[in-house]
Chain A
Amino acid sequence: GDSVTQMEGPVTLSEEAFLTINCTYTATGYPSLFWYVQYPGEGLQLLLKATKADDKGSNKGFEATYRKETTSFHLEKGSVQVSDSAVYFCALILQGAQKLVFGQGTRLTINP
């Protein structure tokens, strides 16, 4: 079945470090890909998305590129801040489908 696999957490970095959170997927069709973020005490919110191969989603300094050849959608940020501390979820939805499939989430902690 369709699935999303994220790198194991937790991830702890210092402020201004470079961030990569790996995400790979398995899909029977042609999915759209997403990163959602869950800040402490809040609901999940959409961070960025990409709907076709080679698209790059970006928001708040975060980027992710839809790589069909490697079935990946890795999240990157050049210089993280303490306020980026959160749980990050990679997700997919197939064209015409109604259900988002999520990865297990990666907890990120940024220390000052």
Chain B
Amino acid sequence: GAGVSQSPSNKVTEKGKDVELRCDPISGHTALYWYRQSLGQGLEFLIYFQGNSAPDKSGLPSDRFSAERTGGSVSTLTIQRTQQEDSAVYLCASRPGPTNEKLFFGSGTQLSVL
């Protein structure tokens, strides 16, 4: 596609359930990022992939959060045993390579944990 695609656009889940959020980066972009945007907060960095490896996962809030990337393309962010404080917009971004500074963002997944 032409841009970064995220699915679903909205997800409502019950506390304690697991959720998976998907990101399709722009074709050929080797670097992929996940950020979280909470109400009244800035963009909180979660994890960075270069290819299929994650050299920086320092922003993952707890061991309930994990992410993987396969084939140097699609990435999945998984949140286990969701809590109400996980409610936020989860943003994915990609860029062509590690030395190109411009990020291309998807429209995000709005996660609501009831």
* Interface residues of A, Cβ cutoff 8 Å to B: 4, 6, 32, 34, 36, 41-46, 49, 89, 91, 93, 98-105
Decide: B98 and A98 in contact? CB cutoff 8 A: yes
Closest chain B residue to A6, Cβ basis: B42
Query: Residues of B within 8 Å of A, CB-based: how many?
Result: 26
Decide: A99 and B45 in contact? CB cutoff 8 A: yes
Chain A interface main SS type? strand
* Interface residues of B, Cβ cutoff 8 Å to A: 3-4, 31, 33, 35, 37, 40-43, 45, 48, 50, 55-56, 91, 93, 98, 101-108
Smallest CB-CB A-B distances: 6 pairs? A104-B42, A43-B105, A102-B43, A44-B105, A43-B107, A102-B42
Q: Which residues of A contact B105 (CB under 8 A)?
A: 36, 43-45
Decide: B108 and A98 in contact? CB cutoff 8 A: no
Decide: B56 and A98 in contact? CB cutoff 8 A: yes
Decide: B106 and A43 in contact? CB cutoff 8 A: yes
Alpha-carbon distance between A14 and B103 when the two chains are bound, in angstroms? 31
Known: A43-B91, A44-B91. A101 touches B101 (CB 8 A): no
Closest chain A residue to B45, Cβ basis: A99
Q: Which residues of A contact B31 (CB under 8 A)?
A: 98
Q: Which residues of B contact A6 (CB under 8 A)?
A: 42
Alpha-carbon distance between A36 and B43 when the two chains are bound, in angstroms? 11
Decide: A43 and B40 in contact? CB cutoff 8 A: no
From B40, B42, B48, B106, A99 is in contact (CB under 8 Å) with B48
From B4, B98, B103, A100 is in contact (CB under 8 Å) with B103
Q: Which residues of A contact B45 (CB under 8 A)?
A: 99-102
